[in-house]
Amino acid sequence: MKYIDEFRNSEHISALVSKIYTISASIGKQVNFMEVCGTHTMAIGRSGLRKVLPGNVNLISGPGCPVCVSSNSYIDAAIEISKNKKTRVVTFGDMYRVPSGRGSLEKAAAVGAKIDIVYSPLDALEIAKRNSGEEIVFLGAGFETTAPLTGKVILYANQQGINNFSVFSCHKLIPPAMEALVNDQQHMIQGFICPGHVSVIIGSRPYEIFPREYGIGCVISGFEITDILHSILILLEMIAGKRKVSVEIQYSRCVQSDGNPNALSLMKEVFDVVDTEWRGIGIIRSSGLEVNKRYSQYNSVYRFPINLKGSTDKKGCICGQVLKGLKKPFDCKFFARLCTPENPVGPCMVSTEGTCAAYYAYER
């Protein structure tokens, strides 16, 4: 048992697909589910799942790719920081290419900015120790999954008296973004496939508002093809009235309803919840994390003259509506002209598996 092939077992997949066909036929009309998390979108793309599902089961790719929703102004500021000769920017690799109005970190590196790519925030601290003459700025990106790690690194820096290290946080919270989507009167989302790893941290309770207030079922799903099919089946059963519309944990091998209390208290210790901007969507209330006053010496915002201007999103980008399932990429005047995978305007084009990028690759 290596927990890879077992979850890709063809017999189990066929059995799930056939159940999905039976129940979706009984429902008849189109149903729209959103897979919130970018990793789900990737898994769906890689397994070829979208083509296997019945015609009336529509999957909408959500805003859960953390780099895709980083605002232009955040990337602009990160580029600005990287221009300082005494500064070294440390980032996860996927942030490297994300474009803003002023270029990208990749382009900044080409003209001399010192930018290191790491796989763990802990490496940023090691880099700070090795380069004591430089200011190390870690770009804290990601949702509830990575935020506790960033928090832990700040605590380590504090314990070890490391003074040349700070975090420029664009950490974001998933449930407020989901709520912003369904607060649009016209949204078409009838079920959420909730992110597995975010839920390892936050548990299932933060999603309870969706069945309670909006009548939308939620399933916290694992990332293998059988997980995702199982989650779709559960959502269909909710729609068909065979299950209570509720929050269910399909990814039970990792997720508990209370989440990870240690990680949650660590986040509370280090971060304040703030309003933050999501590319293509705009400012969402209480959806971001900023390093709090107690640890302000580790907050890049206090160490550098950072001016986080408001949105510089191009007017006319309809990613917000694509994310709500209201419009298709073809409806956008930028699509495949001004907005391409090489030069993305909105979040749906940044990730290769974003809705617009997928349409660009497969549907043109």
Q: Which chain residues interact with another protein by CB under 8 A?
A: 2, 4, 8, 10, 13, 39, 42, 45-49, 51-52, 96-97, 117-119, 123, 126, 225, 341-342, 352, 361-362
Q: Which is nearer to another protein, 33 or 96 (CB)?
A: 96
Q: Which is nearer to another protein, 246 or 340 (CB)?
A: 340
Nearest-angstrom CA–CA distance, 167 and 150: 8
Nearest-angstrom CA–CA distance, 162 and 335: 46
Q: Which is nearer to another protein, 119 or 315 (CB)?
A: 119
Maximal CA-CA distance, the chain? 67
Q: Shortest gap between Cβ of 169 and another protein (angstroms)?
A: 22
Q: Shortest gap between Cβ of 36 and another protein (angstroms)?
A: 18
Q: Which is nearer to another protein, 55 or 342 (CB)?
A: 342
Q: Are strands 31-37 and 135-140 parallel, antiparallel or unpaired?
A: unpaired
Q: Shortest gap between Cβ of 77 and another protein (angstroms)?
A: 22
Q: Which is nearer to another protein, 267 or 350 (CB)?
A: 350
Q: Shortest gap between Cβ of 153 and another protein (angstroms)?
A: 14
Q: Which is nearer to another protein, 203 or 344 (CB)?
A: 344
Q: Shortest gap between Cβ of 288 and another protein (angstroms)?
A: 24
Q: Shortest gap between Cβ of 47 and another protein (angstroms)?
A: 6
Let me know how long the chain is. Answer: 364
Strands of 165-169's sheet, edge to edge?
Answer: 114-118, 87-92, 135-140, 165-169
Q: Shortest gap between Cβ of 52 and another protein (angstroms)?
A: 5
Q: Which is nearer to another protein, 42 or 240 (CB)?
A: 42
- The residues, ordered by sequence, that sit 6+ positions from 25 with a Cβ below 8 Å of its Cβ are 54
Q: Shortest gap between Cβ of 290 and another protein (angstroms)?
A: 27
- Residues 331, 337, 338, 339, CA torsion sign: positive
Q: Which is nearer to another protein, 97 or 314 (CB)?
A: 97
